[in-house]
Chain A
Amino acid sequence: MPSLSSIAWAVVIAIGEPEAPSDASPSVASPLERVFDPEAPLAGHAPLDDAGAPDEPATSLPNTGVAPLHRSDELATPAPAAAPLEAGAARPTEDPRPSAWVAAPLRAAELPAEPPTDLKRLHMVRLDLLVGPVWRLSKTETLITTSVEVGRVHGFSGALHASVIVAPDRDFVAVVDIPVGVGVIARMRMGDSGLYGSVGLSAGILVHRAESQPTFSEFGLEEGPRTVFHRVDPDFRIPIRFAWSVGAAGFSLALIQGFNVRARSYERRGVTVWERSAYRIGLVLGVHSDIILGRARRLRSARRRRGKS
């Protein structure tokens, strides 16, 4: 049974920029696209009329693509039809396009919603720190883990992790395991909320450090000095993670399964006094912070892109 004493709680460190927007977060779009793609909702416009305005994005990701309300005026001047003005030339008095093509200025209530951000193309860096118990079959230890993930908000990311596993039973030998590894993370948004789920696979090494306690005779004489043992094992992890972001930071809950190939035990006078399985399952809770590195193009279907051409 896991011991409650081995459960450590989160230390929150929030760094970096706000988290990347969700698919409801608009990116900057050209006015013409909005004009000739009437089915696409316009996101990011503040509703002039609450009843008729599209819903605000449910996500907490930053609305970097939100256009100001006066953009509707800009839409009245379609860019593709505009000829460059020569110096000194007089401004054309008539619109060369057919009148039907000329868009009348839209009222705010009539603006379509902003198209969703293509999360598969939105890059980010996520930093996290999580703490929790890790079960190594017969024993429960404390796991502190941190990682850096670089990649898509929705899609694959590369990940680098480093952890510390501290064994609570330190009477005979004080053990600290340090798994370090790299791997890939597949992340996807779960529903319309800001909850993301991810699963990963990483490989690396687990550095095992153990320091034996000195032994004494019954007269208090030190007979056996402290001895430090080091071992390095291959290590594999499969983290399953749920992350919920609020602004730039968020909370993460992860189930981290690990396998470091080699089970290990320590004996004193032929009796096993410390042992661990090669398998481990950790349940950690902590915080993360996301840094958005670039803006993704909005999500458009292939059919629509074909229609445009």
Chain B
Amino acid sequence: MSLALFGCDEVIDLDPIDVSIPVESSVRPPPITGGTLVVLDNATAVAADPDRDVIHVVDLAFAEVLHTIALEPGDQPGRVVVSDSGLVHVVLRGYGGLATIDVDAGAVLSRTWLCTEPRGVAFNPDDATLHVACADGWLHQLDEDGASLGSTQLEPDLRDVMIVNGVVMASLFRKAAIVGVDGSRIELPPFGDHIPHVAWRTWVRPSGTIVMLHQLASTEPVPIEPDPEDIEVDGGTPYGGGGDPCTSGITGAAITTIFDGRTDTVPVSQSRLTVDAAASPSGEWIALAVPGAAAEEGTIRFQSTEFFECDPGARPDGDDGQVTAVAYSASGQLVAQSREPATITVFTDEPWGTRKVIKLNGEPRFDTGHEIFHRATSSGLSCASCHPEGTDDGHVWTFETLGDRRTQPLDVGLGDTAPFHWDGDMTDLTMIMDEVLSHRMGGDRQSSLRQASFQRWLFAQQRPPAGGDHEEPSQVSAGAQLFASYDCGRCHDGPALGGTITENVRGVRLQVPTLRRVSLHAPYMHDGRSGTLEAAIQDMVESTRGVTAPQADIDAIAAYLRTL
């Protein structure tokens, strides 16, 4: 009890507080990227494990681990593809290249550096070539030995690679669009007052139908605080997507099929952070990896391909860990990979049948910061819902009373960029956790120990500079000089080139964003009004100096910024 001696007001927060002891893994796991599993024809599963930097080779028939192939620390293996020769190729996000694996021998045959942030890979059986998509927009073509066959520049933010009727195509992560090397482009139409974004997984069925697991983002005004009328004892509100299963929240998962120019989008009812999907060979079921769901809810979900908007799907009973990848075998068995605990679960029948759990090798990677970031709050949202892969969704939200605000990236060394948010009104991460995670999203408040652990995990998720591997050094050098001559460094100062001060731009006081990895974070400005890096540079020159810069200067500065 406390005795009040002076007149004062006391506000007591009823939001539940999590006081459990935080756990920090010896190697703090990276944000979930999902889709790290492939099942070979001989009932062998190959699972990339970015948390432990290993490749697991598992015999599904005998339920045993054949090989645990160690990679270099920080390699962060991601997408996996098998070639006709039986070799397995794994994208190494942390390393920036591709590893070729002999699964029979359990050995790494080669490592090929490609770009700063490779994401997707596909094997084209027509010419036995590999295609690797990079976040910077370059699509690399290799042979199975790792020799480069050429590169094609598409758009930044490439994700998955598909061979569609012989044409190499790649999905765009934030825009949830598809671009082809032949110049083709597929845009998904809006779904009501939501637009598609964040294409977690895109693949092609044998029929030629493209299937995309993506998110839908609301274009309606988003309240800063929940409407008091919407506040319920259980905390669920339309802000977060909880409550009515037929009502989409501000963001949620959806599946879109694209065939012969037609698109069909169906939102996943009451979805959580969903990072991977696989269609059963019969075509009747789609399995979803839902690592954002609470363990008690189950992180595997099955949707009938005939599902409708309000269909809640089906969930097998039991704890399958935190599933981040799913794949079907040719015989129709679903194989699910859990990152923590590290397991492979095999469901014997369609849609699931009995369960067979295979424990994988490696240290535990349970981490409180990782948990807080990915697990859904009571409203259905998790941090990763708007910050997928630990960065941003590229969406411009319309907040009531604030206006348009583009989601800010988190993979830029966040510790160097306080205060936070575009208005600079969040002095530290504690304030953000209380205001955003708890109040807006309906999550538990966290004890100071857990907040500190979360902060350490989040601040450690800085990714390397974008690189600008394809930029002309002279152009980059000229751009650096122009950057200084235009006095850009007056605000974009410090180790993160910005992020620490609030300036008045066009009559609005806004935080100066960091320029780290700026080329990977389109659109630009607080309201996303600049779609390209060049447009953003011109906008800032006009805003701050009142002149229009020559296009040559803009191009040079853009080349310099692509190296950051």
CA distance A217 to B233 in the complex (A): 10
A270 and B235: CB pair below 8 A? no
Residue A82, interface by CB 8 Å = no
Chain B residues closer than 8 Å to A268, beta-carbon distance = 14-15, 231, 233, 235
Task: Give the nearest-CB partner of A259 in chain B.
Answer: B7
Task: Give the nearest-CB partner of A171 in chain B.
Answer: B233
Task: Give the nearest-CB partner of A214 in chain B.
Answer: B233
CA distance A223 to B7 in the complex (A): 34
Chain B residues closer than 8 Å to A221, beta-carbon distance = 294, 296-297
Closest CB in chain B relative to A72 CB, distance in Å: 65
B444 and A265: CB pair below 8 A? no
Task: Give the nearest-CB partner of B227 in chain A.
Answer: A271
Chain A residues closer than 8 Å to B442, beta-carbon distance = 269
A271 and B228: CB pair below 8 A? yes
Residue B13, interface by CB 8 Å = yes
B12 and A217: CB pair below 8 A? no
Chain A residues closer than 8 Å to B234, beta-carbon distance = 215-218, 223
CA distance A272 to B231 in the complex (A): 10
Of B3, B6, B226, B236, the residue contacting A218 (CB under 8 A) is: B236
Q: Of residues 190 to 236 in A, which have CB atoms within 8 Å of B's CB atoms?
A: 210, 212-219, 221, 223-225, 227, 229-234
CA distance A107 to B438 in the complex (A): 91
Closest CB in chain A relative to B387 CB, distance in Å: 20
Contact code string B266-280 (vs A, CB < 8 Å = 1, else 0): 000010000000000
Residue A263, interface by CB 8 Å = yes
CA distance A133 to B227 in the complex (A): 30
Chain B residues closer than 8 Å to A71, beta-carbon distance = none
Task: Give the nearest-CB partner of B230 in chain A.
Answer: A271
Main secondary structure of the interface of B (DSSP, over half): loop
Residue A15, interface by CB 8 Å = no
CA distance A269 to B435 in the complex (A): 8
Residue A262, interface by CB 8 Å = yes
Of B1, B235, B435, the residue contacting A230 (CB under 8 A) is: B1
Chain B residues closer than 8 Å to A219, beta-carbon distance = 296-297
Residue A267, interface by CB 8 Å = yes
Contact code string B124-160 (vs A, CB < 8 Å = 1, else 0): 0000000000000000000000000000000000000
Residue B519, interface by CB 8 Å = no
Task: Give the nearest-CB partner of A277 in chain B.
Answer: B9
Of A171, A265, A270, the residue contacting B439 (CB under 8 A) is: A270
CA distance A261 to B5 in the complex (A): 8
CA distance A230 to B2 in the complex (A): 8
A262 and B4: CB pair below 8 A? yes
Chain B residues closer than 8 Å to A233, beta-carbon distance = 3-4
Closest CB in chain B relative to A261 CB, distance in Å: 5
CA distance A184 to B489 in the complex (A): 72
Evaluate whether A231 and B7 lie within 8 angstroms (CB atoms) in the complex, with A215-B235, A268-B231, A269-B225 already known: no
Chain A residues closer than 8 Å to B439, beta-carbon distance = 269-271
Residue B440, interface by CB 8 Å = yes
Chain A residues closer than 8 Å to B242, beta-carbon distance = 218
CA distance A49 to B16 in the complex (A): 81
Residue B378, interface by CB 8 Å = yes
CA distance A270 to B14 in the complex (A): 9
Q: Of residues 293 to 329 in B, which have CB atoms within 8 Å of A's CB atoms?
A: 294, 296-297
CA distance A269 to B6 in the complex (A): 27
Residue B508, interface by CB 8 Å = no
CA distance A172 to B235 in the complex (A): 10
CA distance A271 to B231 in the complex (A): 8
Of A213, A263, A265, A272, the residue contacting B233 (CB under 8 A) is: A213
A269 and B438: CB pair below 8 A? yes
A232 and B233: CB pair below 8 A? no
Residue B243, interface by CB 8 Å = yes
Chain B residues closer than 8 Å to A264, beta-carbon distance = 9-12
Closest CB in chain B relative to A217 CB, distance in Å: 5
Evaluate whether A231 and B236 lie within 8 angstroms (CB atoms) in the complex, with A223-B444, A269-B440 already known: no
Closest CB in chain B relative to A40 CB, distance in Å: 55
Chain A residues closer than 8 Å to B296, beta-carbon distance = 219, 221
Residue A173, interface by CB 8 Å = yes
Residue B61, interface by CB 8 Å = no
Residue B552, interface by CB 8 Å = no
A232 and B2: CB pair below 8 A? yes
Evaluate whether A265 and B9 lie within 8 angstroms (CB atoms) in the complex, with A218-B242, A225-B16 already known: yes
Q: Of residues 1 to 40 in B, which have CB atoms within 8 Å of A's CB atoms?
A: 1-16
Residue A278, interface by CB 8 Å = yes
Chain A residues closer than 8 Å to B14, beta-carbon distance = 172-173, 212, 227, 266-268, 273
CA distance A215 to B242 in the complex (A): 13
B12 and A267: CB pair below 8 A? yes
Q: Which of A224, A230, A264 has the most CB of B within 10 A?
A: A224
Contact code string B439-479 (vs A, CB < 8 Å = 1, else 0): 11010100000000000000000000000000000000000
A224 and B16: CB pair below 8 A? yes
Closest CB in chain B relative to A177 CB, distance in Å: 13
CA distance A233 to B8 in the complex (A): 10
CA distance A218 to B380 in the complex (A): 9
Closest CB in chain B relative to A206 CB, distance in Å: 10
Closest CB in chain B relative to A137 CB, distance in Å: 13
CA distance A60 to B294 in the complex (A): 72
Closest CB in chain A relative to B367 CB, distance in Å: 21
Q: Of residues 220 to 266 in B, which have CB atoms within 8 Å of A's CB atoms?
A: 225-228, 231, 233-237, 242-243
Closest CB in chain B relative to A209 CB, distance in Å: 10
CA distance A224 to B236 in the complex (A): 13
CA distance A221 to B4 in the complex (A): 37
CA distance A34 to B128 in the complex (A): 134
CA distance A231 to B16 in the complex (A): 19
A210 and B2: CB pair below 8 A? no
Chain B residues closer than 8 Å to A267, beta-carbon distance = 11-15
Chain B residues closer than 8 Å to A272, beta-carbon distance = 11, 228
A234 and B12: CB pair below 8 A? no
Closest CB in chain A relative to B237 CB, distance in Å: 8
Task: Give the nearest-CB partner of A210 in chain B.
Answer: B12
Closest 10 pairs (CB-CB, A-B): A224-B16, A270-B439, A262-B4, A216-B234, A263-B9, A269-B439, A268-B14, A233-B4, A271-B228, A232-B1
Question: Chain B: residues with CB nearer than 8 A to chain A?
Answer: 1-16, 225-228, 231, 233-237, 242-243, 270, 294, 296-297, 378, 380, 435, 438-440, 442, 444
**Could you jot down 14 A-B contacts, CB within 8 Å?**
A215-B378, A232-B2, A233-B4, A261-B6, A263-B10, A266-B11, A267-B12, A267-B14, A268-B14, A268-B231, A269-B15, A271-B225, A271-B226, A278-B7
Known: A172-B233, A219-B296. 16 other contacts (CB 8 A): A172-B14, A218-B243, A219-B297, A223-B444, A224-B444, A234-B4, A261-B4, A261-B8, A262-B7, A262-B9, A264-B12, A265-B9, A266-B12, A269-B226, A269-B438, A270-B226
